[in-house]
Amino acid sequence: DVTADPTTPGRAWAVASDGRVPDRVLLSDDAGRSWSAVGPPIQDILVESIARAPSDPDRLYLAGAIAVGAATPRGFVLRSTDGAASLQTTELTLEPTERYPLVAAVDPTDADRLFVRVVRRVTDETPERLLYSDDGGASFREVFALRRIAGVAISDDGQILTVGSAEGAGVHAARDGGFAFERVSDLTVRCLEARGDELWMCVDQRIDGFALGVSTDGGRTLEPRFDLTQVDELPRCEACSLTGFVCPAWLSDLRADQAQYLADGGGAVSTGLPRDAGDIALCGIDAGPGPDAGLDGGVAVDPEPGCGCRAASAGGDGLLHGAWLVIAWLALVLRRRPRG
């Protein structure tokens, strides 16, 4: 998982693991081009999420579990007040069919207030618990439960908490910093994010006719902003650019997902063939192209505008604002590592 630092351009935190060696917290100060390990290895716990507190540059929260195969499922929230140089651990009591906790949201105004979603299996119809801490993760209490919590968003002033379900249980909001939730819509939600007076949502293309929308009335109504049928092809990248090699590898997954997800109605969407970076054998072993640069005779050059893991509009060459969010969600679904 990755979390950006909004106060320092180019800085990001990540947690990395392959499930076989201890997890590590990583830091990048060059927009993800290079990473360095911070703090000690995290023993035993498989970390699933990392989040930075917007109001405190050194406050980080992580959440994870000891694998489901263990005798008793155990969930954990880890807190750092020194940029991950050290971590304090709080154990959560998991119910028998719960799998692991995820850091769902941190209050933008108060680094001690955070929300944790406790994940269940997709086939488990029991509502998932939303836990709340106001003491920096030292203790938690349940404040809400909803089937398949797919999004949690907090307004910029910390006063409105919005929670959405991916299983038809609707969108719910609590106001004035409290937990008296009301159902504001029946939308099936895939993701939620609050930005100023706007609430952005990924929704169900088959049900709603679009994939990404924005609400200015707290989630009661949604204005379409992106439709998966608008995905046409990947934009062209400079020869030998790293994105030119990596991104086309996603295209078969994107096609397969579209064929399944949009198969009803007019049939599957057809995406264009990848316009990739060319023959990697001709780029030179020592060339070392960066993620935003191509090579011309071994010399780095600026990439063509639009190069990257994004989607081009079927109606023209322009990039669709917000398309990256849906593509990233598809990639996450396709590559989510299994847990028992």
Q: Which residues of the chain have pLDDT under 70?
A: 67-71, 231-239, 241-251, 254-255, 257-258, 260-340
Output the pLDDT for position 230.
76
Give me Rg for the CA atoms of the chain.
21
Report d(CA 76, CA 88) in Å as an integer.
10
Q: Which amino acid is at 289?
A: P
15: left (phi over 0), alpha (psi -120 to 50) or beta: beta
Query: Taking a C-beta distance cutoff of 8 angstroms, is the pair 174, 180 a contact?
Result: yes
Q: What are the phi and psi torsion angles at 271 (to 5°)?
A: -95, 155
The pLDDT score that the predictor gives to residue 82 is 95
Which helix (H) or strand (E) covers residue 39, if one does?
strand 36-42
pLDDT at 290: 40
pLDDT value of position 162: 97
pLDDT at residue 185 in the model: 94
**Model confidence, pTM:** 0.75
pLDDT, residue 338, reads: 45
Q: How many CB atoms lie within 10 A of CB 298?
A: 11
Task: Kindly report the backbone phi and psi dihedral angles of residue 97, in degrees, each rounded to the nearest multiple of 5, phi listed first.
Answer: -100, 10
- Report pLDDT for 207: 84
Question: By the 8 A CB rule, do 2 and 23 touch?
Answer: no
HEC string for 46-107:
EEEEEEECCCCCCCEEEEEEECCCCCCCEEEEEEECCCCCCCEEEEECCCCCEEEEEEEEEC
Q: Would the CA dihedral through 218, 219, 223, 227 be positive or negative?
A: positive
Write out pLDDT tens, residues 56-84: 989 999 999 986 566 677 999 999 999 99
Q: Where are the alpha helices (DSSP H) in 228-322?
A: 242-246, 251-261
For the chain, report the end-to-end CA distance as a whole number of angstroms: 19
Cα gap 241→333, rounded to integer Å? 26
Furthest CA-CA distance within the chain: 63
What pLDDT, on the 0 to 100 scale, is given for residue 297? 38
**246 CB-contact burial (10 Å; exposed 0-12 / middle 13-18 / buried 19+):** middle
pLDDT at 238: 66
Q: DSSP character for 336?
A: P
